[in-house]
Structures are given as C-alpha cells and as structure tokens.
Amino acid sequence: MDSLTQIVLGAAVGEAVLGSKAGNKALLYGAIAGTIPDLDVLVGNFTDTITATEMHRGFSHSIVFAFIAAAVLGQLTAMVEARKNLGWKPWAWLFFWAIFTHPLLDIFTTWGTQLLWPLDNRLALNSIFVIDPLYTLPFLGCVIAVLFLRRGSLSRKRINNIGLIYSTSYLLLSIVLKQLALSQFIQALEQQNIPYKEISTRPAAFNTILWNANIETEDAYLIADYSFFDSQPIKFDRYPKSRESELQPKNPASRENLERLIKITKGWYLMDKEEGQWYFYDLRFGRMPVSPGEEQFVFTYELFYDEREILQARERERKVEDAQFLMSYLWNRIKGN
C-alpha cells in the first residue's frame, strides 16, 4: 500500500499496543515503524531495475525482519525514552506489530510480499489497489481524532478500535467483492464459449467497484474489466502471446535477465517490438488509459543492451497528464458501461 496508508496503520497499531502508557509517542513510533519495510525502494538507487524489482517487498517485508528490527529498535527507543521507564520489551512489541502489519496489509495487493522469506514465495491476494481512498481516509480520520483525546481514556481506545475494525472489515469485504467479480468474468467466458487455462482478477485503481481480469488461453491473453454497475456484457480484448524467443538474447547473461523478468510477472507477460524498440509488459497490473482511445500497460519495461552487451530493463516513465485523464476515465467507467 502507499506510504500514507502504512503510516496510518502503523500509528493505529502503535496506539493499540502502547497508547495507554506512551500516549501520542506510541502513535509517532508506530507511524515510523509502518514506513520502515518500504525503505527497500532505496535499493533502486544502487542497482539495476531488475534486481531492485526482485528485492522490493522481499526481506524487509518478512516475519524475520519484523523480529530483528523490533528487537533493535525497541532497545534504541527505550534509551531515547528512558524517562518513561518502560523498558525495551514494550517498545519492541510495538515495533514488531507496527512493522509486521505492514506486509500483512501488502498481501492484499497485487504485488504481494515475501512474508515467509527466505522462502521464495510471494503472497498476493489481489483484492485491493495500492491506493484506495475509501480504505485510507476514514481510517486516517480515526487516527487524527485519537491525537486530541486524553491518553488512556475510553473514548480514545474506542475510536482507535473503530479505525482498526474498519480497516480489517474493508479488507475482508474486498475479498468478497473479488469473488463476486470473478464469478461474473467466469460466467461471461462460459456464455461467450471462450475456453481458458487460467484467470487472474484485481481491482482497478483507487476503488473496489471496477475490476480487471487477465485470462490466459492457448495462444493469447484476454483482458477485460467489469463494474458492479455494468449493464452490458463483458468485452474481452485479445492480445496474441509474444514470447522471449522472438527477442533472441545475445548471451547467457541476457537470457538469465529475461528469465528473471518473467519470474517477477509469474508468467503474466507480453513482449512487443515498436519502431525497433523491444518492450516487456507486466500484465498483472492491467492497462491504464492515457488518452481517448489509447491505453498502456501500467508496468512497461524498455529492453536494451548495456555497454557489456547484456540485456537490461528500465521502467517506462509515467506522465502527470496521464494520471489526470485516468481519474476522469475511471470515474466514468465505475458508473457502468
């Protein structure tokens, strides 16, 4: 999830764990802890795109990291907050839960997390977009209200609990909505007599009303969307499979890098060549409309050879004006087809 959401969740968890004894300091340290796992994005400043992508939501989003970081940060915070005389264990407990709930929340997103690191297995439920205002804003309101209530008061505890209950309920509801949307996609495939091998669904940006689906068939991928307010049949757009054999990597290192990209996508990918430039599309995050009648895949990588003649990738930059059009498009699409 986005940084603001993780700050809000961390603050609420910090309050629940130690708010009665530490007051707003529990909110503060919980908020800080909630952002710590995402510091792995700094890796991108020191390595290539493929490696940075592999490492994102890896070790720093694991149970192992939560235990280690909690022990270290608990000791440091106990020294900084020595006047509170709480000892290191309550602070470590706060940091553990504020850090651990970060990857738990991320599991509900499409990217997922390596919660069980060092096992090479990303857990992803694909039921909530990384930014969802309907999830974050009410939760944020509860945390802000807590700031102005007396430490240890019943009303403070109740409002914080309301925020945590709302958060949990919304996540559980997103799973229910995902299953309802999935049933609609499957029904449409059956009605249109389309055989398929696998189907993957996820919510569109910023909401849980509009859903996207990727469907793998024998020789193509089908991509479709569905809003709970739709009145017309689901339409499937067909993309013929184009595979890595068409690129013909020049050496073993290049083939290895391409295989690493494919592994990141869990096999949901396409490749295409436009005006001499190869592009690698991660299908898991669907398409993004950028102008009337024009769409792009959310995660698109330009493939190129470096000075050592080894295949590399760089993510295509997104434009601010693309986001502006996307918001308008989404609102109209959510209202139904």
Arithmetic mean of pLDDT, 26-50: 90
Cα 110 from Cα 129, distance rounded (Å) = 7
**Range from 204-208, 310-314, 316-320 carrying the lowest mean pLDDT:** 316-320
Q: Are 152 and 141 in contact (CB under 8 A)?
A: no
Beta bridge partners of 220: 240
Q: In whole numbers, what is the pLDDT of the chain averaged over residues?
A: 91
- Residue 157, amino acid: K
pTM of the complete model beyond 0.85: yes
Burial category of 308 from C-beta neighbours within 10 Å (exposed 0-12, middle 13-18, buried 19 and up)? exposed
**Helix and strand numbers, DSSP H then E, in the chain:** 9, 8
Write the pLDDT tens digit of every residue in 223-258: 999 999 999 999 999 998 876 556 777 788 988 998
Per-residue tokens: 47: 């390595």
